[in-house]
Amino acid sequence: MSQRPLKLVPQLTAILVLAVMTLAVWASWLGWDQHRDVQPDGSETGPYEAWQVIGLLLTLLAPVYWAASRRYIAGAVLGVTAGLTVAAFYDWSDDASGLFLIGVGMIMMGSLAVTGVASAVIVSVKAWADSTRKRS
């Protein structure tokens, strides 16, 4: 029997762990802030500030690096994407217009693309560094 099923378990574990971590990170950075700011012209902004979103993204770099550097690419990409998508859906689903689904779709596609590129860069740089070390 091949060892292929044994390699599937760490990938699935990484997906699950990163999805749960992403949900927790979303809750800590964005979940508590539901207040919209009313501008002097009557328009509304928010509920999130730029520093909150930047903090979320920077915090998620650590688990993505951890998973990608161990070659759990599926865990890095699918775990973070699933976590962000579920968190956005839950957080924004009280919108009566239904337009929140467009935002959730954009979160899903954007996080899929960004974590895919970040994982590819991490794996490439790590492979290059390993090959450089072996040549020395």
Q: How many domains does the chain have?
A: 1
- For the stretch 5-42, pLDDT in tens is 558 888 999 999 999 999 999 999 998 877 777 888 88
Does 4 fall in a domain? Answer: no
Residue 40, both tokens = 């002097």
In the chain, % of residues over pLDDT 70: 95
Does 87 fall in a domain? Answer: yes
Does 23 fall in a domain? Answer: yes
- What range does the domain containing 42 cover? 12-135
Lowest-pLDDT choice from 1-10, 40-49, 115-124? 1-10
What are the E-state strand segments in the chain? 37-38, 44-45
Does 89 fall in a domain? Answer: yes
Do 19 and 79 contact (CB within 8 A), yes or no? yes
